[in-house]
């Protein structure tokens, strides 16, 4: 069966510090991968999605970036965090090549920038 791992679960970082959140998927190949941010009352905002290694689509201009160094690994990064980067970050995957399918979510990372 497929599983998705996301870490860390919580993170407190000072303003201006770097960020690296990691997400890995097991039990499937070439998944579509996603990073979402959830802010209170604003639902889930799609930040990045990837349909393959090195293929990243950015939805929202910001000081965050994403990378996919391996087939089942998706990393969210920042060189310098802002206070506004605080939020709940969710990684998700969906099967490649299947047109009608839902996304499967990790447990999320609560990021607080202080």
Partner 1 sequence: AQSVTQPDIHITVSEGASLELRCNYSYGATPYLFWYVQSPGQGLQLLLKYFSGDTLVQGIKGFEAEFKRSQSSFNLRKPSVHWSDAAEYFCAVGNNDMRFGAGTRLTVKP
Q: Which residues bind partner 1 (CB under 8 A)?
A: 32, 34, 36, 41-46, 49, 51, 57, 59, 88, 90, 92, 94, 99-108, 110
Instruction: Note if the bond before 8 is cis, omega within 30 degrees.
Output: yes
Between 61 and 102, name the residue whose CB sits nearer to partner 1: 102
CB of 20 to partner 1, least distance (A): 20
DSSP 40-105: TTS-EEEEEEEEETTEEEE-S-SSEEEEEEETTEEEEEESS--GGG-EEEEEEEE-TT-SS---EE
Between 14 and 98, name the residue whose CB sits nearer to partner 1: 98
Residue 54 has which token pair?
């090195």
CB of 6 to partner 1, least distance (A): 8
CB of 61 to partner 1, least distance (A): 16
CB of 17 to partner 1, least distance (A): 23
Residue 81 has which token pair?
């965090």
């Amino acid at each position: 069966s497929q599983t998705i791992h996301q870490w860390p679960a919580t993170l407190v970082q000072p303003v201006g510090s770097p960020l690296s959140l990691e997400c890995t998927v097991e039990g499937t190949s070439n998944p579509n991968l996603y990073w979402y941010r959830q802010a209170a009352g604003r639902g889930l905002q799609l930040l990045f999605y990837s349909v393959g290694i090195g293929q990243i689509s950015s939805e929202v201009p910001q000081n965050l970036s994403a990378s996919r160094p391996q087939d089942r690994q998706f990393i969210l990064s920042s060189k310098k965090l802002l206070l506004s980067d605080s939020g709940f970050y969710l990684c998700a995957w969906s099967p490649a090549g299947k047109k009608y399918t839902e996304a499967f979510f990790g447990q999320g990372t609560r990021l607080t920038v202080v």
